[in-house]
Amino acid sequence: MTDQESLAMRFEEHRPRLVRLAQRMLGSTAEAEDVVQDVWLRISSAGADGIDNFGGWLTTIASRACLNVLRSRATRGETPLDDGIAEPVVEADRRGADPLDDAQLADAVGAALMLVLDRLSPAERVAFVLHDSFDVPFDQIAELLDRSPGAVRQLASRARRRVRSADTSGGAASDRRPVVDAFFAAARAGDFDRLVALLSPDVELRIDGGLSATSIVRGAAAVASQALLFAAPAALLTPVLVDGLPGVVVMIDGRAVSVMAFDVEGDRIAVIDAFAGPERVAELSLP
């Protein structure tokens, strides 16, 4: 067997995974197959001598090719031009609206999910797909996107919120609202144990104060302590949806001081995203 034949056999073992990756990235089977074929043409010419992690190397090449396609779409106005982190969409929480029937709901969710994916910036889409669907570490994605691992983590987080907002598997936002209400009630009452019970053990509180870095607090006890520290009994809480997730706008003396979004899994809060400070909140478009 020649070296070229051996390389072809190794590549074909990875082709199905590469096609799935490209399909998820691009939303098009035809484009995905074209990208993977281009990857093969590239490595068949260059060879793979000295490559220790062949699968990881192929993933990087295919991901970079998909990123180029997404950016090319953006220059033609087919996807957002901004390759950074999009601001959250804050909407009024209209509970009590007439629900769609099951068939209509399924169609709406499928269409919404595709629309959400298409509205992600190229960097958001790459970070989300590689990490959440293919378990690629953030530091590896950071090299691909020429970003810091922290920035890539934030890209994936924002993308994940948008995708989950179009996915009913976690329940409608109104179904998860009671957990959020219970969280604020416990915070106002100073009930530490109740707060911990409402939080997942590995919960994350991510605080975006408008600076270059996002502060992250991890763990139920640490997040509960933070909630007690900043609980304001006089605050007015306005229910909203933040990228489709249940959230609140926190008002003090008639001024919006923070916006919070809650990712609820089952009966516990898994992630809290807080946009904190009047200056940061002023950058958001509120209902």
The DSSP-derived string for 233-247 is TT-EEEEEEETTEEE
Q: Which residue has the tokens 């416990």?
A: 186
Cα–chain-centroid distance for residue 70? 17
Task: Give the model's pLDDT for residue 106.
Answer: 42
Pick 279 or 106 by higher pLDDT. Answer: 279
pLDDT digits (tens, 9 = 90+) for 153-189: 888 888 887 776 655 444 455 678 899 999 999 999 9
Q: Where in the chain is the domain with CATH 3.10.450.50?
A: 173-282
* CB neighbour list of residue 141: distance below 8 Å, 6 or more residues apart: 126, 127, 130, 131, 149, 152, 156
pLDDT band at 25 (very low <50, low <70, confident <90, very high): confident
Q: Comparing 48-62, 164-178, 232-246, which segment has the lowest mean pLDDT?
A: 164-178
Q: Where in the chain is the domain with CATH 1.10.1740?
A: 3-75
Query: How far apart, in whole angstroms, are the C-alpha atoms of residue 222 and residue 242?
Result: 24
Measured from the Cβ of residue 43, the count of other Cβ atoms closer than 10 Å reads 19
Query: How far apart, in whole angstroms, are the C-alpha atoms of residue 150 and residue 145?
Result: 12
Query: Taking Cα atoms as reference points, which of 128, 29, 118, 26 lies closest to residue 69?
Result: 26
Q: What is 3-75's CATH number, 1.10.3470, 1.20.1270, 1.10.1740, 2.50.20?
A: 1.10.1740
What is the model's pTM? 0.55
In order of 189, 231, 261, the CA distances from 193 in angstroms are: 11, 15, 22
- The packing angle between helices 29-46 and 3-26, to 10°, is 150
Cα–chain-centroid distance for residue 161? 5
Is there a contact between 217 and 223 (Cβ–Cβ < 8 Å)?
A: yes
- Phi, psi of 121, rounded to the nearest 5 degrees: -65, 160
Residue type, 236: L
- Using CA atoms in the order 113, 116, 121, 125, what is the torsion angle rounded to 10 degrees? -20
Is there a contact between 248 and 259 (Cβ–Cβ < 8 Å)?
A: yes
**CATH number attached to the domain at 173-282:** 3.10.450.50
Task: Give the model's pLDDT for residue 134.
Answer: 85
Give the burial class of 188: count Cβ atoms within 10 A of its Cβ; 0-12 exposed, 13-18 middle, 19 or more buried: middle
Domain 92-170 of CATH type 2.60.420.10: no
Is there a contact between 216 and 204 (Cβ–Cβ < 8 Å)?
A: yes
**pLDDT at 149 exceeding the cut of 80:** yes
H or E element that contains 178? helix 173-189
**pLDDT at 62 exceeding the cut of 60:** yes
Task: Give the model's pLDDT for residue 165.
Answer: 62
Q: Where in the chain is the domain with CATH 1.10.10.10?
A: 92-170
What does the mean pLDDT of the chain come to? 81
pLDDT band at 102 (very low <50, low <70, confident <90, very high): very low
